[in-house]
Amino acid sequence: MRLWLVALLLPLTACSDDGDDWWASPPDGTRWVGYDGAVVAVPDWWTTGETQCGAPVEDTVYFDSGAIYDCSDPADPETVRSVSSLAVLDDGSGRYAEGDLDGDCEEWFEGVCRRLFGVAGTDAIFAVTIDEEGDGDFEEIRDSARTLPDGVTTVPLATGPDGWTPSWGAEPSFVRDLTEAIEAAGLEVEVETVEPDPDGDVADLPPGSLLDVEPALGTPIEDGGTVVVTVMGTSGP
C-alpha cells in the first residue's frame, strides 16, 4: 500500500480495547459488514445486494467491482437517487488517488453524492451514499470502521467473475458462484432446501434460487465457520 495512503488511513484503524468478540455484537440498530479484514456498522434494515445493472435500487450493501455492465434494463436514475447504500470496493490495484478517500462528496451517479474512505492495513474501500436524514450517517459509518481480530473473516460479498453480490431470488448459477466463493474463503457451506406453499410469494422462483444466507453476506464469522445457504426446492416452476 502506498505511503500516502497509509498516512491517510491511520485515523481509521480500529480500536482494540473492546475485547476480541466485539464483532459478534454490533451497535444497537446496526449490523457489521465488511471485506478484507475491515468492517463498518450500517443500519440493520439495509438489505444486501439489491442492485440493478450495478446500481443500488434499495437501501443496501453490495460489492462494487467497477465492472461496466452491458445491461438492457438499467436502473431508473430516480430510484438510484432515492436510496442509501454502502458499496464495498477493492484497492488492491491502487486505483484510488489521494483525493478520492477524503470523504468529500463526489457525483458518482447523476444527482447522487458518494463519499469514500478506507481502513488502514486492508484493501477495503467503503463508498457511502445517503439519500436523506434518518437513512444513515456518513460520519457514523466512517467512524465505526474496525479491523477484525485474527481468526475472524467475513462472509464473501463478491461472487463470480464480475464480483456481483447476489440477493434474494438470485438464479441457481449465481448460487453456485456464491457457494464457491464461500468455500474459497475457507468457510463451510450448508445448503438447505425449502419447499414453499405453491400459493406463496416465492412459488414462481425456479428451483435452486436463493432465499437466504445466514450469516448474511459481508458479516463477520470465525475462520472455518459454517454459512447456511437456503434455496428454493423442487416445488417451484
In a 10 Å sphere around its CB, with 0-12 CB exposed, 13-18 middle and 19+ buried, how is residue 140 labelled? middle
Confidence (pLDDT) at 96: 79
190 near 228, Cβ under 8 Å?
yes
Confidence (pLDDT) at 198: 67
Confidence (pLDDT) at 99: 72
User: What domains does the chain contain, in order, with CATH numbers?
Assistant: 3-149 (no CATH), 172-232 (3.30.10.20)
Can the peptide bond before residue 215 be classed as cis, meaning omega within 30 degrees of 0? yes
Confidence (pLDDT) at 6: 39
CA-closest candidate to residue 127, choices 14, 15, 33: 33
Residue 94, CA atoms < 13 Å, CB-side half-sphere: 6
Confidence (pLDDT) at 141: 97
Confidence (pLDDT) at 93: 80
Residue 173, CA atoms < 13 Å, CB-side half-sphere: 3
- pLDDT less than 70: residues of the chain: 1-19, 67-70, 98, 198-203, 235-237
3-state secondary structure 172-207: HHHHHHHHHHHHHCCCEEEEEEECCCCCCCCCCCCC
Residues with Cβ < 8 Å from 177, sequence gap 6 or more?
159, 160, 164, 166
Pairing of strands 30-35, 55-56: unpaired
Confidence (pLDDT) at 144: 97
pTM over 0.85: yes
Angstrom distance (rounded) from CA 116 to CA 87: 9
